[in-house]
């Protein structure tokens, strides 16, 4: 071989070597992700190498070749000189290129092994799999070459799909298929994996190959399945909608929509502005207000009517959360719940109340009938009402008065009295023939007895109706007939109320000229037959003696209605009134204020006397009200006020009692009025703002009151007490602040802040040698908070503290009212080393059986008992019993509110373990408590 050819060969070898370095790894990676970056970097790198090193050396090589070619003619050879550094630079450049390419290859491998998706290359057996694919397919590098991707297909996949996938993979090897995506199922180690895959054809090692990228969707599929099940059984419609200037567009709506409205989710989503088009025309104003709320609020609630597929309307309760509100585009998530039944009862009670009120002002039969028809329609209880009279001579019902006045239905139809005719079979005919006092037509479209009038009723959208007998003299048969635009509006639960309405109209009619009887309607409750709020106001106007009032509220009465129904709830409400009346003298009067509230007025009584009566009523109702062999316990909140003790004007007594009621809470069910309550009522909004701000800024201050060992005098624990100032810097009453926070649903957030501050302070104190356990008060809401213990344990861990540095105080009342929940809460707390203290023991009247079921560590005897141990032997005996009982239950006792040395001596002699009270120290700020502790920690509290 000639010298020029040798050098040309050398030059070619160098170029080939560069190319081999460029293809450093087996296979063609140019189709894989990120290879473009590698290619660009490589081109740039070799360009630099070429122009700096290779090109100069190449020029010398060409010169050498030319000299060799001209050698026969010139008979001499002028060879260029290659310096050693030039050759070394060439070698270094080649090595550097190889290194850079290996680095790029390593980076690519790292990316492929860390992306959250599987990558598989096959020909047809698997020749490459990244780490995600190896793990999810239970493969390793050695075993993967023995299997094909199709080997992992689940067995239950239908044959048609399998054949399609087999053909697709086969064509990939031939290089004739394009990119495709699909969902499928794999079977790996006895488990089915749901995957989403994208496949394509590439060239690998110079041959066609298939590449599959897949993601494991198994957990997502299960979540979707569970959500579908949940939505299937929940009677609530969930939806996701976007609202723009063009209207709304549903992106998701649950299957419950079909049961609620008759429309399928697909029908709703496919129709632009479906929601707005199906809202009742009279509720459009509600919709406009809703749009205004979009701007101001992130969530809110509203009620309106919506059109069903069958042409009828239902009431829905809507709750909405705004997910996004940008540039006029609003993205919402919401829920619809059928609230038709609730609205019916709301309208019915309002209609009855207004009807009773109007009966007092009616001066004639015609005015009475006109008013009744009008008020029933205007209140929303029905859409049309008329009163008819049986005309025996014409053998039919003759309409007397109707409303709306321009509706002619009553005069357009015929209702006969002859029982052999079909026109006598409807609700009005049944009532007129004295077969029943109330007759219902729940659905005009399907009720066969409505057939003679069905066409006229449907034309007017009268989809349900009721006929009510009006009690009157024997020579007159009167019926009240009402119609609704919804089927099922009138049902059997309304019969007691409709019966009362008919009787009241009859009563007003028959005694129209007797003002005494009309006065009864004005001053008596139509539901329970007792005095009403009008009677109370009238009595207070004429009150001259001293008196006390107790405003009584049944706690959680809505739960009774939900569990047993409104009819049962009304019955229980009346039986509750009967029990209250049985607990007082006949001269004491009970008034029904409406809903679940009563007022008890006792003449010649003060607040202390009324408190005793209130406790007696509470105890009796807590034993239960009996209804059809069920004993339903009733719990009360009571506000007490008295004249002249609290006011000189008796007419304000009701208002003061309501103020006291509003300041009660779960731990204090009986609240006596105090002057500050009125002032606070006026400034409640400001107080709410202060509490919200304190939560956001975590600006609550903690005071600590020491608890002293009665035997040694040492201080081993204290109680953390919350303090907050108003905007003027004045202290806010802690009980008031807690009450408002509970009403606002903020108490759990406040508790979390208190515990956070206590643990941070404990960390500091431990470093200074202040070793005390701090007791923190918690509410019933905290006990029911599933995040309470996870948050507490996280904060303990974060501060490096053991659980024994904190104790939790639960009121006796909470343990009585929520026994099962409290028992589970306490058992878990003690299992992780947190002590439990029962606070205010003795005020909630828990039984020995109830308290023996609770595993507590400390029993705190309420101050009301400690105050009387030196002057009331019966009271002292109760305290001895409490101390002895706690000892038997292997618990310790703390006496609260100790103020005298004689009380300390008595408590020590009778075995009380700890003393807490002003005799040792009032609650102190952090620094003052620390100083007090350092003085008394060795037992010098005496």
Torsion of CA 388, 392, 393, 399, to 10 degrees: 0
109 or 480: which leads in pLDDT = 480
Q: Would you give the distance in Å from CA 169 to the centre of its chain?
A: 50
Kindly tell me if the per-residue pLDDT of 717 is higher than 60. yes
* Tokens 């039986």 sit on residue: 575
- Rounded Cα distance between 492 and 340, Å, is 15
Q: Which of 105-114, 297-306, 651-660 has the highest mean pLDDT?
A: 651-660
Name the residue with tokens 């107790």: 550
Q: Residue 435: is its pLDDT beyond 90?
A: no
Q: How many CB atoms lie within 10 A of CB 131?
A: 15
DSSP string for 703-743: EEEEEEETTT--EEEEEEEEE-B-TTSPBPPHHHHHHHHHH
Pick from 355-369, 392-406, 774-788: least confident? 355-369
Q: What are the tokens at 97? A: 């290129």
Beta bridge partners of 776: 720, 808
CA distance 892 to 886: 6
Mean pLDDT in residue range 632-637? 89
Residues 6+ apart with CB under 8 A from 64: 3, 4, 7, 79, 80
As a whole number, mean pLDDT of residues 229-257 equals 74
d(CA 6, CA 642): 122
Average pLDDT over residues 722-743: 87
Most confident of 519-533, 556-570, 877-891: 877-891
Local confidence band at 659 (pLDDT 50, 70, 90 cut-offs): confident
The pLDDT of residue 851: 74
In degrees and rounded to multiples of 5, residue 664 shows phi and psi of -80, 165
Span 830-852, average pLDDT: 77
pLDDT of residue 500: 87
CA–CA distance, 380 with 353 (Å, rounded to integer): 13
The pair of structure tokens assigned to 298 is 């992130």
Residue 759 predicted with pLDDT over 90: yes
Mean pLDDT, to the nearest integer, of 395-400? Answer: 90
Determine the Cα–Cα distance for residues 351 and 62; give it in Å rounded to an integer.
Answer: 111
Mean pLDDT of the chain: 82
Tokens of 255: 């299957």
Length of the chain: 942
Q: Which of 222-236, 512-526, 920-934 has the highest mean pLDDT?
A: 920-934
pLDDT grade for 22, boundaries at 50, 70 and 90: very low
Q: Does residue 37 register a pLDDT over 70?
A: no
Q: What is the pLDDT of residue 8?
A: 36
Angle among Cα 21, 24, 30 to the nearest 5 degrees reads: 105
pLDDT at 610: 93
- Among 249-253, 278-282, 851-855, the range with the most confident prediction by mean pLDDT is 278-282
The mean pLDDT value for 149-162 works out to 84
**pLDDT score at 592:** 92
User: Distance between CA atoms of 505 and 479, rounded to whole angstroms?
Assistant: 10
Q: Which residue has the higher pLDDT, 285 or 467?
A: 467
Per the model's pLDDT, the better-predicted residue between 453 and 556 turns out to be 453
> In terms of Cα–Cα distance, which of 524, 499, 507, 519 is closest to 577?
524
Q: Is pLDDT above 80 for 33?
A: no
> How much of the chain, in percent, has pLDDT values that exceed 70?
81
Strands 118-122 and 126-129: antiparallel
pLDDT at position 765 is 94
* Banded pLDDT at 103 (limits 50, 70, 90): low
Query: What would the mean pLDDT of 125-136 be, rounded to a whole number?
Result: 88
Q: What is the rounded CA–CA span in Å between residue 941 and residue 936? A: 5
Residue of 785, 721, 774 lying closest to 749 (CA atoms) = 785
CA-based max dimension of the chain: 154
Residue range 465-491: average pLDDT?
Answer: 87
Please report where in the chains the tokens 């044959």 appear, as a residue.
159
* % of the chain at pLDDT higher than 90: 32
Tokens of 930: 């620390």
Confidence of residue 12 (pLDDT cuts 50, 70, 90): very low
Whether the predicted pLDDT of 847 surpasses 80: no
Assess contact for 782 and 748: CB atoms under 8 A.
yes
CB proximity list for 16: less than 8 A, separation 6 or greater: none
d(CA 512, CA 283): 38
Closest alpha carbon to 286 in 312, 306, 261: 306
Angstrom distances, CA of residue 269 to CA of 241, 263, 273, 632, 776: 9, 10, 9, 46, 52
DSSP 829: H
Q: How far apart are CA 774 and CA 508, in angstroms?
A: 67
pLDDT of 468 strictly over 80 = yes
Res 767: pLDDT: 92
pLDDT for 346: 83
- For the stretch 255-304, pLDDT in tens is 888 888 899 988 888 887 888 888 888 887 776 766 666 555 666 677 88
Compute the half-sphere exposure of residue 708: CA atoms within 13 Å on the CB side of its CA: 27
- Does 406 or 371 have the greater pLDDT score? 371
> Residue 513: pLDDT band by 50, 70, 90 thresholds?
low
Is the pLDDT at 26 greater than 60, yes or no?
A: no
């Amino acid at each position: 071989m000639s010298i020029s050819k040798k050098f040309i060969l050398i030059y070619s070898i160098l170029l080939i070597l560069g190319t081999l370095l460029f293809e450093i790894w087996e296979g063609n990676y140019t189709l894989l992700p990120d290879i473009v970056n590698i290619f660009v970097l490589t081109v740039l790198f070799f360009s630099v190498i070429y122009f700096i090193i290779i090109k100069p050396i190449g020029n010398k090589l060409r010169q050498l070749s030319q000299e060799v070619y001209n050698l026969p003619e010139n008979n001499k050879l002028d060879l260029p000189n290659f310096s050693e550094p030039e050759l070394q630079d060439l070698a270094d450049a080649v090595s550097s290129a190889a290194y850079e390419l290996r680095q790029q290859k390593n980076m690519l491998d790292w990316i492929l092994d860390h992306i959250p998706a599987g990558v598989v290359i096959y020909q047809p057996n698997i020749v490459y799999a990244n780490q995600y694919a190896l793990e999810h397919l239970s493969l390793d590098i050695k075993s993967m070459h023995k299997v094909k991707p199709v080997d992992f297909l689940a067995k239950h996949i239908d044959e048609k799909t399998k054949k399609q996938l087999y053909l697709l993979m086969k064509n990939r090897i031939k290089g004739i298929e394009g990119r495709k995506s699909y969902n499928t199922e794999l079977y790996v180690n006895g488990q089915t994996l749901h995957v989403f895959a994208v496949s394509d054809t590439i060239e690998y090692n110079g041959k066609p190959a298939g590449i599959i990228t897949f993601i494991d969707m198994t957990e997502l599929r299960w979540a979707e399945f569970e959500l579908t099940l949940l939505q299937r059984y929940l009677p609530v419609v969930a939806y996701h909608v976007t609202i723009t200037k063009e209207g709304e567009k549903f992106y998701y709506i649950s299957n419950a929509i079909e049961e609620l409205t008759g429309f399928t989710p697909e029908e709703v989503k496919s129709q632009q502005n479906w929601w707005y088009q199906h809202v009742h025309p009279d509720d459009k104003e509600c919709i406009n207000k809703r749009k205004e709320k979009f701007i101001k609020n992130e969530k809110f609630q509203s009620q309106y009517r919506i059109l069903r597929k069958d042409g009828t309307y239902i009431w829905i309760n809507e709750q909405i959360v705004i997910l996004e509100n940008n540039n006029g585009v609003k993205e919402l998530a919401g829920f619809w719940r059928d609230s038709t039944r609730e609205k019916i009862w709301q309208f019915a009670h309002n209609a009855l109340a207004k009807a009773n009120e109007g009966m007092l002002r009616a001066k004639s039969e015609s005015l009475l009938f006109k008013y009744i028809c009008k008020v029933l329609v205007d209140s929303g209880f029905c859409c049309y009402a008329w009163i008819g009279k049986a005309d025996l001579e014409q053998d039919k019902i003759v309409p007397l008065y109707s409303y709306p006045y321009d509706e002619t239905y009553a005069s357009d139809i015929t209702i006969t009295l002859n029982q052999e005719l079909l026109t006598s079979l409807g609700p009005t005919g049944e009532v007129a023939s004295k077969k029943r006092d109330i007759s219902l037509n729940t659905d005009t479209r399907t009720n066969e007895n409505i057939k003679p009038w069905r066409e006229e009723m449907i034309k007017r959208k009268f989809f349900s109706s009721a006929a009510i007998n009006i009690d009157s003299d024997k020579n007159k048969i009167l019926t009240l007939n009402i119609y609704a635009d919804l089927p099922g509006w009138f049902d059997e639960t309304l019969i007691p109320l409709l019966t009362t309405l008919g009787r009241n109209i009859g009563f007003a009619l028959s005694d129209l000229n007797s003002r005494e009887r009309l006065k009864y309607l004005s001053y008596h409750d139509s539901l329970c037959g007792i005095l009403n709020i009008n009677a109370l106001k009238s009595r207070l106007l004429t009150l001259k003696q001293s008196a006390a009032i107790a405003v009584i509220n049944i706690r959680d009465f809505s739960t009774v209605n939900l569990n047993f129904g409104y009819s049962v709830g009304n019955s229980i409400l009346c039986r509750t009134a009967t029990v209250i009346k049985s607990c007082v003298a006949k001269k004491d009067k009970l008034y029904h204020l409406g809903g679940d509230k009563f007022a008890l007025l006792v003449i010649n009584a003060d607040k202390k006397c009324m408190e005793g009566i209130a406790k007696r009523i509470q105890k009796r109702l807590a034993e239960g009200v009996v209804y059809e062999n069920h004993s339903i316990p009733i719990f009360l909140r009571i506000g007490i006020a008295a004249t002249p003790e609290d006011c000189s004007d008796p007419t304000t007594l009701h208002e003061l009692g309501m103020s006291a009621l509003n300041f009660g809470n779960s731990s204090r069910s009986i609240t006596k009025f105090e002057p500050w309550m009125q002032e606070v009522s006026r400034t409640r909004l400001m107080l709410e703002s202060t509490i919200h701000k304190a939560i956001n800024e975590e600006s609550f201050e903690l005071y600590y009151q020491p608890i002293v060992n009665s035997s040694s005098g040492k201080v081993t624990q204290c109680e953390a007490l919350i303090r907050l100032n108003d905007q003027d810097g004045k202290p806010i009453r802690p009980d008031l602040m807690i009450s408002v926070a509970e009403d606002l649903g903020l108490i759990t957030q406040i508790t979390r802040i208190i515990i956070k501050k206590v643990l941070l302070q404990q960390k500091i104190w431990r470093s200074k040698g202040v070793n005390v356990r701090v007791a923190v008060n918690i509410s019933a809401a905290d006990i029911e908070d599933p995040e309470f213990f996870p948050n507490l344990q996280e904060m303990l861990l974060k501060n490096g503290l053991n659980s024994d540095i904190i104790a939790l105080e639960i009121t006796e009342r909470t343990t009585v009212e929520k026994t099962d929940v409290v028992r589970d809460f306490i058992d878990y707390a003690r299992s992780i080393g947190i002590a439990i203290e029962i606070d205010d023991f003795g005020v909630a009247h828990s039984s020995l059986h109830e308290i023996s079921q609770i595993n507590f560590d400390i029993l705190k005897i309420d101050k009301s008992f400690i105050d009387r141990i030196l002057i009331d032997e019966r009271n002292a005996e109760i305290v001895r019993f409490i101390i002895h009982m706690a000892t038997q239950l292997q618990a310790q006792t703390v006496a609260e509110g100790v103020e005298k040395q004689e009380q300390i001596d008595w408590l020590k002699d009778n075995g009380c373990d700890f003393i807490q009270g002003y005799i040792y120290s009032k609650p102190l700020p952090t620094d003052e408590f620390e100083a007090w502790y350092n003085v008394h920690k060795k037992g010098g509290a005496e």
